[in-house]
Amino acid sequence: MKHKELIDAIADRTNRTQKETGNLLQTAIDILTSQILEDNVVNLQGFGSFELKRRKERLSVHPATQVRTVIPPKQTVNFRQSGVLKVKLKEIPSHE
């Protein structure tokens, strides 16, 4: 699902215009982003939580050439699914 499709789906379910829905969604994304950047865990009940993870600088060695490279520290966002979402995912048949 793309951003526009999400806005359309929310607008249909809430009987709001696409412009209102787009503004609300952008506001929610801005708030979630600012909270994560402030190192706060964002928990969406029934969905999961997002939190900032800091990875330390580390040394990597190429297995074939043995060349050592320093991998700089970086920040990533970690998502942990809720128990409710985990149960719902188990109920879906796999497409193997």
Query: What confidence score (pLDDT) does residue 27 get?
Result: 97
Query: What confidence score (pLDDT) does residue 96 get?
Result: 62
Query: What confidence score (pLDDT) does residue 30 get?
Result: 97
Residue 24, burial from CB neighbour count under 10 angstroms (0-12, 13-18, 19+): middle
Q: Where are the domains of the chain?
A: 3-91
Superfamily of domain 3-91: IHF-like DNA-binding proteins (4.10.520.10)
Instruction: Give, for all 96 residues of the chain, the pLDDT tens digit.
Output: 999 999 999 999 999 999 999 999 999 999 999 999 999 999 999 999 999 999 999 999 999 999 999 999 999 999 999 999 999 988 888 766
Residue 82, burial from CB neighbour count under 10 angstroms (0-12, 13-18, 19+): middle
CA-to-CA distance for 64 and 45, rounded, in angstroms? 47
